[in-house]
Structure 1
Amino acid sequence: MKRFFLCMLTALSLRVAAADVNITAHGAVGDGQTLNTASIQKAIDACHGSGGGKVIFPKGTFLSGTVAMKDNVTLHFEKGSVLLGSTDVNDYKNLDPFTDGLGIDVGWALLVAVDAKNIGIEGRGEIDGQGSKLKAAHILTDTRSESLRWGRRPFLVRIVRCEGVKVNGITLKFASAWTSHYFQCKNVDIENVKIISHGVAHNDGIDIDGCQEVRIKNCDIESGDDALCFKTTSSKMACKNIVVTGMRLKSGHGAIKMGTESMAPFENIKISDCYIYDTNNGGIKLLTVDGAHLRNVDISNITMVNVKTPMLFRLGSRLSVFRKGKDTQQPTGTMENVTVRNVKAQASANAQLKPPSGILITGVPGHYITGLTLENIEIDLAGGGDATHARQVVPEAIDKYPEVKTFGPLVPAYGIWARHVKNLQLRNITFKLAANDLRPAFVCEDGRNVSLSNWNIPATDGAEAVIRLENVSKAVISGVKADGKFQSFVQAEGAESKDVKLQKNKAPGAVQAYVKK
């Protein structure tokens, strides 16, 4: 009994010690003019010193520079509260410098946590970075080109090497650079977050950088740059064991993206039930170009509306290093065992490739994308390709920045263009065209074990071929229905093209079912 009462007294004392702290009790003034950096930091430090709890942001607009979160502290934003970022870059600190995929030194931030445990950001308030205003003030004193000086501008939220992170309900607005960056964190829950961040360049929404055991659910993101982006700027920790569901995404670049920086693996990642709209670059972009192994990724139940180039898969050899003095250049990585299924996409006619295409898949010579499966895919496309477009030669761009436009101005297939692939499975694929297109629906260059099954290909008139295989061995084409009139249903070219099997296809308008050149 005595031991019981001692335990009860200990628990009670801990509960009393973990007191909530209002930032106004430490001098914060919510007038939108007073710089409250020191006052907010004092409130966080006091809460942490008492054993943890909540730091309360009451109704009001609280101007601040960099503040650092501490163990066992949750920032609670009441309705009507705003943490407003200063427009003076000198009010910000860089507690974990690194170099981004463009080679720019970055890492300054408004709200930062480094090596902390059990932290949170919650509530119905807002964090506003005033990105456009900060940029306007910054360029008055920084005379470097915009491509160099943007990195000095602060991220809105940076969570670095933390464990036990919960972000719920908050609205993040108008960052000066990336909106939220999570680096080498474990056990992260992000739910019901609203992001509206555009107006300056590099406004990524959520960046997951080498994090593990991550759950992201029911977030609404409108970003000027990538909306939901997975990175590994260090080779030391993989993006691993991640589940994402129920996202609404609008992006000035990529909606769902992996691998702008790609040194450590991306593995065991599931993304489902997302709505992507008005996106200016790619709906789904999976990339590994700096040595990472990208594997065991499953993406399903995706709707896209007005999206430029719905999908890009890229294995490349840029081989950049982002953490100076902490990493060394790696050999080319791998992309394997990736599945994308149940996708309906309306592709924009005004795309970065003209005429537009639906899906780009490409490794580099000697390095194959392996075990990619696309299943139950429907894409509406503008069409408009002519006979010369059907013979477009696409640059290898082996060491270039991974982007759709890198392979422009167009690719020789309107539906799916694939190069340097092995064990490619393409099942239940449907395309619709708004205008005639003389490019093939599918072109594969340098492929091994390629399977097409149960395709519905729209009527076209005058194309040389519906499917073209260039140096492809062991291909099976079955259950494909192709309407319209064309010279050949399947055309195989190159010395390595062999073992091509056609089974139960319907192409009544073809002059020849199969041609080998």
Structure 2
Amino acid sequence: MIASSLKLFAVDVNITAYGAVGNGTKLNTSVIQKAIENCYKGGGGKVIIPSGTFLTGTIVLNDNITLKLEKGAVLLGSTNVNDYKNLDPFVDGLGVSVGWALVVAIDKKNVGIEGEGIIDGQGSKLKAQQILTDTRPESQRWGRRPFLLRVVRCQNVSVTGVTLNYSAAWTSHYFQCKQVSIKNVKIVSRGVAHNDGMDIDGCQDVIIKDCDVISGDDALCFKTTSSKMACKNIVISGLRLKSGQGAIKIGTESMAPFENISISQCYIYDTANGGIKLLSVDGARIHNINISDITMMEVKTPILIRLGARLSVFRKDQDTQQPIGTLENVTIRNVRAKAADNAQLMPPSGILITGIPDHPIKNLTLENVEINLAGGGTDENARQVVPEAIDKYPEVKTFGPLVPAYGIWARHVDGLKLENVKLTLSHNDLRPAFICEDGKNIELNNWDIPKTVDAQAIVRLENVTGADITNNSVYGFAHEFVCVEGNTSGDIHVLKNKLPGISKKVELSADLKTSTVVSD
């Protein structure tokens, strides 16, 4: 069970009693650390940061220590990279050495941060100062910049009420922790690259509730940078997320499983990449994921689901390459999205789902999904070939420049259920609303498909075995409702659909038999 707050401890200390000066210019690292160690030796308690601006480098929390930032308190990160320590080095998904941080807890129990104050990393100023002496390319140099908060292999962690601002890299990274509670936290972290908001990396028994994240990079990101501990038993609710990349992401770093994760009642807005991204590319098993009651406004590409085979290793002295993972038993329901008109793939598409040959995504359900899209696709766009990109970094743009369906495009899937999907378009789109390539056991039920004019097909199935397409309503005019292609297609049922403007219900490619499809 996750503790909602830390127990009462024996000693509370104020850092000013140890000589800390809150003028924003004196470096207080040693005196803050002394206050923490004396509090720990006294049995633990709260180390109080009072009103004022306290400049510091790396400070390390100990067992039974809560850092309390009172109203008006600012713990201000130094702009000198040499004032920071890396107590748990590792390599990120781009192959860069990282791990330096401002506030750190390693292998501790009962640690917390609370209060109405602010931790500010001065990311842009630190970067400007760093590049005066660090002449490496930016792709290598950024990893030397500190995270704002790192909590590593800790048990019973509570972060409540505080504001985390302007990290020089990831804002908060929780690695292989158990019993974690993050509530009413506000993050504003933009201005330099890699400003993730929350990174939950191989953690278990986690609650995140009622937080507000504005991040330059991924807002809420689950990772497993080690194969030794899964991300599991996690409950997320009530988040507001704005991101320069992905709002809710599982992966990219994905060596150990992600399982038993529930995410609900989140509002995503002004996000420059994916709204929801589920990505197993380094061997992870992603399963038993439930995402529900999500609203998205002005989000580029609302959903990306990817099973791939990049197979990176991030702690090379501790880990070995994993076999290709799995992605199964995922349910996403009650999603309303206004997709951005200007997206990574143009013209935009709503949902991309793709495994790789012989490794399909299994048992994926999308239910009660409504997406508004710009439209604008052409006949030529409808035949776009999408790269497999089996071992590539799993990003929306990896599959560009566009995909051939405007609503949902799926490839290498087995057990895909699409129930109560409503699509709306601002402009005519000649691409199909749905395409499946290399699929088994596909269900399309109760779709509401908008008016389009002169499209070739509304649905296209390529090498699909077993499909039920029933009770769908199509309001536009097209040459055919369902186009079936590929010599392995079969056992397709097209029944009880409302098609007043469709010239032909089903069109079969020349190499298929009429018995391939059952229709009314």
Q: 1:28 and 1:77 mapped to 2: Cα distance?
A: 14
Amino acid corresponding to residue 65 of structure 2 in structure 1: V
Q: 1:361 and 1:220 mapped to 2: Cα distance?
A: 28
1:343 paired to 2:335 = yes
Q: 2:444 and 2:41 mapped to 1: Cα distance?
A: 62
SS of the residue 1:254 aligns to? coil
Amino acid corresponding to residue 166 of structure 2 in structure 1: F
- Aligned position for 1:396: 388
Amino acid corresponding to residue 205 of structure 1 in structure 2: G
- In the alignment, which of 276, 301, 305 is matched to residue 284 of structure 1? 276
- Aligned position for 1:8: none
1:462 paired to 2:463 = no
| TM-score normalized by the length of structure 1 | 0.97
1:432 paired to 2:435 = no
Q: 2:55 and 2:232 mapped to 1: Cα distance?
A: 36
- Cα distance, 1:137 vs structure 2: 0.4
- In the alignment, which of 225, 242, 252 is matched to residue 250 of structure 1? 242
- In the alignment, which of 444, 450, 456 is matched to residue 452 of structure 1? 444
SS of the residue 2:278 aligns to? strand
SS of the residue 1:386 aligns to? coil
Amino acid corresponding to residue 47 of structure 1 in structure 2: C
Q: 1:141 and 1:496 mapped to 2: Cα distance?
A: 61
- In the alignment, which of 320, 323, 346 is matched to residue 315 of structure 2? 323
Q: 2:154 and 2:70 mapped to 1: Cα distance?
A: 24
- In the alignment, which of 229, 252, 264 is matched to residue 260 of structure 1? 252
- Cα distance, 1:503 vs structure 2: 1.4
- Aligned position for 2:63: 71
| TM-score normalized by the length of structure 2 | 0.96
Amino acid corresponding to residue 347 of structure 1 in structure 2: A
SS of the residue 1:397 aligns to? coil
- Cα distance, 1:323 vs structure 2: 0.5
Deviations 1:147-184 (A, max 9, x none): 11000000000000000000000000000000000000
1:299 paired to 2:301 = no
Q: Structure 1 vs Structure 2: percent identity of aligned residues?
A: 69
- Aligned position for 2:135: 143
- Aligned position for 2:46: 54
- Cα distance, 1:82 vs structure 2: 0.4
How is 1:332-411 mapped onto 2 (pairs within 5 angstroms)? 332-411=324-403
Q: 1:507 and 1:149 mapped to 2: Cα distance?
A: 58
- Cα distance, 1:19 vs structure 2: 1.1
- Cα distance, 1:510 vs structure 2: 1.2
1:205 paired to 2:235 = no
The total of aligned residue pairs comes to 503
Deviations 1:162-219 (A, max 9, x none): 0000000000000000000000000000000000000000000000000000000000
- Aligned position for 1:269: 261
- Cα distance, 1:260 vs structure 2: 1.1
- Aligned position for 1:163: 155
- Aligned position for 2:3: none
Deviations 1:335-394 (A, max 9, x none): 000000000000000000100000000000110000000000000000000000000000
Deviates more, 1:201-210 or 1:477-486: 477-486
Q: 1:126 and 1:63 mapped to 2: Cα distance?
A: 12
- Cα distance, 1:508 vs structure 2: 1.5
1:126 paired to 2:118 = yes
Which runs of 5 or more structure 2 residues have no equivalent in the other structure? 1-6, 510-520
Q: 1:90 and 1:145 mapped to 2: Cα distance?
A: 19
Q: 2:228 and 2:11 mapped to 1: Cα distance?
A: 37
- Aligned position for 1:182: 174
- Aligned position for 1:35: 27
Amino acid corresponding to residue 217 of structure 1 in structure 2: K
Deviations 1:47-103 (A, max 9, x none): 101000000000000000001000001000100000000000000000000000000
How is 1:490-501 mapped onto 2 (pairs within 5 angstroms)? 490-501=482-493
Q: 1:93 and 1:260 mapped to 2: Cα distance?
A: 26
Amino acid corresponding to residue 438 of structure 2 in structure 1: D
Which runs of 5 or more structure 1 residues have no equivalent in the other structure? 1-13
Q: 1:72 and 1:325 mapped to 2: Cα distance?
A: 31
